């Protein structure tokens, strides 16, 4: 009977195959906790780059590498990265003594931290990795018109806040929820007794080197153009995304001011795909790609100012940007206003 229930369209799998995927997702989430959220996402970039590169050269072989491993149970962001994010949120509450001395934000945001082999932290990663897989497959099963991997990354991050007692948005330190000036003035948070919380900044922008509107717009245009160009030359929507993800290795290693661009290059490639169906001019396609990259970058910045900067855990601005932007594109396509929906299987 249980096997029959798993035939419903929302799941769309035989019980045995589903059991394999669930077990792998548990392991993938724990793997993300062991490596740390950001290091696990760097692996996503390398695996997707391998898969897309083989796809350009050999065809169908690479699709399996990209989909089953890169975006699957091993390094899929909704599994490994999400597991690492949830593990960090848990450790921020359970093990504050583990916080590095040079970390200025709440420890629950330190997605560079690798938790190694601590069983309870790995268990949290495993649970949230499995949850991320279930959310993604469920939303895909009902045909929800967005990038449901990105949507799942956001959903599990908010669920981690609820599960471990963090506020969904948090206390605003500036004049408005979008105000980053307390960070610029290095203001610290006010404790319950009226004093200050040592080392905890009043406002914590996602990237201290990538939050000013002009800079975000500039890197958005540049990344979008490059994402569009890569698609024009290779036919791969995800190659630019993979290169962006791999570049985060340098950020993880402590190289200052490395920009985060995977939400930018991905939407740049997507804009190019959509524009190419409507116009025949490659220069125009590139300009659309640059515009899409800038829009995605700005959505990510608004997202971080609202949902990241004021609470104590990581809610991923790139995932929020991808999920929101692709939802708009998916709805516009279903309404007959776009020639295609990029990489969405609609």
Pairing of strands 188-190, 196-201: antiparallel
Question: pLDDT band at residue 64, thresholds of 50, 70 and 90?
Answer: confident
Residue 11: the pLDDT is 59
Report d(CA 17, CA 22) in Å as an integer: 9
Phi/psi for 221 (5° steps) reads -65, -50
Report d(CA 302, CA 172) in Å as an integer: 14
| Mean pLDDT computed over 262-283 | 95
Closest to 77 in 3D by CA, of 326, 284, 325, 318: 318
Residue 340: the pLDDT is 97
Per-residue pLDDT at 242 exceeds 60 = yes
**205 or 50: which leads in pLDDT:** 205
By CB atoms closer than 10 A (0-12, 13-18, 19+), residue 345 is exposed
Report d(CA 330, CA 338) in Å as an integer: 9
Question: pLDDT band at residue 104, thresholds of 50, 70 and 90?
Answer: confident
Closest to 212 in 3D by CA, of 175, 183, 255, 254: 183
Q: Which two tokens mark 262? A: 């995977």
Per-residue pLDDT at 22 exceeds 60 = yes
Q: How many CB atoms neighbour CB 307 within 10 A?
A: 22
Report d(CA 263, CA 53) in Å as an integer: 20
| Mean pLDDT computed over 20-44 | 93
Closest to 34 in 3D by CA, of 93, 135, 162, 120: 120
Domain-wise residue ranges, the chain: 14-335
By CB atoms closer than 10 A (0-12, 13-18, 19+), residue 171 is exposed
Hey, CA dihedral for 117, 121, 124, 125, is it positive or negative?
A: negative
Counting every residue written for the chain, the total comes to 346
Residue 55: the pLDDT is 81
**200 or 40: which leads in pLDDT:** 40
Per-residue pLDDT at 174 exceeds 80 = yes
Side-chain-side CA neighbours of residue 314 (13 Å): 28
Per-residue pLDDT at 283 exceeds 80 = yes
How does the average pLDDT of the chain come out, rounded? 91
Phi/psi for 198 (5° steps) reads -55, 125
């Amino acid at each position: 009977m249980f096997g029959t229930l798993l035939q419903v369209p929302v799941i769309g799998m035989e019980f045995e195959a589903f059991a394999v995927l669930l077990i792998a997702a548990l392991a993938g989430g724990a793997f993300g906790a062991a490596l740390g959220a950001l290091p696990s996402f760097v692996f996503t970039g390398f695996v997707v780059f391998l898969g897309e590169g083989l796809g350009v050269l050999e065809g169908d072989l690479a699709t399996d590498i990209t989909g089953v491993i890169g975006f699957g149970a091993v390094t899929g962001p909704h599994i490994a990265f999400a597991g690492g994010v949830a593990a960090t949120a848990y450790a921020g509450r359970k093990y504050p003594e583990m916080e590095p001395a040079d970390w200025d934000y709440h420890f629950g945001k330190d997605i560079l931290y690798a938790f190694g082999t601590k069983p309870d932290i790995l268990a949290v990663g495993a649970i949230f990795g499995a949850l991320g897989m279930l959310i993604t497959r469920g939303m895909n099963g009902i045909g929800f018109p967005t990038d449901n991997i990105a949507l799942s990354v956001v959903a599990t991050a908010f669920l981690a806040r609820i599960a471990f007692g963090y506020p969904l948005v948090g206390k605003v330190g500036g004049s408005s929820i979008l105000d980053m000036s307390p960070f610029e003035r290095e203001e610290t948070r006010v404790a319950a007794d009226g004093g200050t919380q040592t080392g905890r900044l009043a406002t914590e922008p996602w990237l201290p080197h990538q939050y000013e509107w002009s800079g975000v717009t500039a890197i958005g245009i540049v990344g979008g153009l490059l994402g569009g160009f890569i698609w024009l030359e290779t036919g791969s929507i995800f190659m630019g995304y993979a290169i962006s993800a791999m570049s985060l290795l340098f950020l993880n290693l402590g190289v200052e001011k490395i920009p985060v661009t995977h939400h930018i290059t991905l939407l740049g490639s997507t804009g190019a795909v959509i524009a190419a169906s409507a116009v025949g001019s490659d220069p125009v396609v590139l300009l659309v790609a640059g515009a899409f990259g800038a829009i995605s970058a700005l959505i990510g910045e608004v997202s971080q100012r609202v949902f990241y900067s004021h609470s104590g855990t990581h809610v991923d601005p790139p995932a929020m940007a991808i999920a929101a932007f692709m939802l708009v594109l998916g709805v516009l396509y279903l309404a007959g206003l776009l020639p295609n929906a990029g990489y969405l299987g609609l």
